[in-house]
Amino acid sequence: MTQSTLSTAPATASAIELEDRWGAHNYHPLPVVLTRGEGVYLWDEQGRRYLDMMSAYSAVSFGHSRPELVEALTQQAQRLAITSRAYHTDRLGPFLEKLCRLTGLARALPMNTGAEAVETAIKAARKWGYRVKGVPQGQAQIIVAAGNFAGRTTTIVGFSSEAQYRDGFGPFAPGFVEVPYGDVAALERAITPHTAAFLVEPIQGEAGIVVPPAGYLRAVRELCTRHRVLLICDEVQTGLGRTGRVLACEHEGVLPDAVTLGKALGGGLLPVSAFVAREDVMSVFGPGDHGSTFGGNPLAAAVGLAALELLEREGLSEQAERQGRYLRERLLALQHPAVREVRGKGLLVGVEIDPRFASARAVCEALMAEGVLSKDTHHTVVRLAPPLVITGAQIDSAVAALGRALRSVEPDSRLAA
């Protein structure tokens, strides 16, 4: 059975039509209906297997249906799942302790989604600015980098440099200042006595896997310390082993004042996020200042703790470092004229496609026909971020499929040139 037959099979068409009829059109998925996942693989309705090279934007870093994590989820669900933070539970404390010890920070505040973690960071930074730094009330500023992506709430899209993310959703909250990503001098010029924090991704994911110049984060750390500005690293996508370190900022030996975590923290099973910070930053929160009905629930805490333990026990950060290096080597060995650049760290890799050959979307559609799933970003980048448990043989398979996909989408006239 061919891929075209599969994609138009009645069951698949029905599932896609139902989503299209009853769902908001805020996504443009590839035309495949997935029903099952295990390890680095996914299966569609017709039973065809795909190699998952995106792992739900890093949320499935440990692989689909990882048995230890499913067991932690199942056992806790049968005991106690939700209580709200109106009461203590036996699961939350161990989870928070593990988070703090792993990140080297003092306290953690659990939430659900990455965007909630970032919103928590914004609130903490502003209140720290007023209570600790002495910024005049209502005048705190947070510096952000152009090309950032931190979520979809109205506050967050308000400081995005992507026009589509902002279009039609204003008015936006004031108090944010944008500087070019990777430019230390621009950051220093933007700092004023009213600056409370600099919120930055160690590697920009949604912008196209953009890696800053070497030494950038170290220089930023020194600058923030000198001017008494909080350095908040958004590690929702890059954290927990993805780039070859527990935190991506560790590549430059940087300890931020706070980090946001999410995605992989839920073990690929449910949304779990956290804002983790040093003592004086977290101490600005008192009872009633911030919270979430579901944040820190026993089910999330049990799965999050199991995920962190698995990350350490199996050395998955080191695994991502090794396999990521191999993935980039294999991609460069393609030496295909459509590939402008291969960039990234660990198993967070972007393949920049020359738009004169094809769109990144077309490449991802061709990859799907080859049995590999990924997703484009910014129209020109194919992102490759598989589960951290991927093997060398599976990487070989994915890269070979990309080579075939590139050959299938490029124009014949350009091939001849």
Could you tell me the CA-to-CA distances from 29 to 21, 26, 49 in Å, in that order?
Answer: 14, 10, 18
Residue 265 makes CB contacts below 8 A (sequence gap 6+) with 239, 240, 272, 273, 274, 304, 307, 308
| Termini Cα distance of the chain | 35
Is the preceding peptide bond at 386 cis, omega within 30 degrees of 0? Answer: no
Q: Please identify which of the residues 62, 149, 275, 294 carries the catalytic annotation.
A: 149
Q: Quick check: is 20 catalytic? A: no
Q: Quick check: is 285 catalytic? A: no
Q: Please identify which of the residues 98, 127, 133, 263 carries the catalytic annotation.
A: 263
Q: How many CB atoms lie within 10 A of CB 16?
A: 16
**Collapsed DSSP state (helix, strand, coil) of residue 262:** coil
Which residue in this structure is represented by tokens 């930055």?
200
Q: Please identify which of the residues 234, 345, 375, 376 carries the catalytic annotation.
A: 234
Could you give the count of Cα atoms lying within 13 Å of 147 in the half-sphere of its Cβ?
A: 19
Tokens encoding 33? 């209906």
**What is the rounded distance in angstroms from the CA atom of residue 345 to the CA atom of residue 238?**
9
**What is the rounded distance in angstroms from the CA atom of residue 252 to the CA atom of residue 287?**
36
**What is the rounded distance in angstroms from the CA atom of residue 161 to the CA atom of residue 175?**
15
> Annotated catalytic sites, by residue?
149, 234, 263
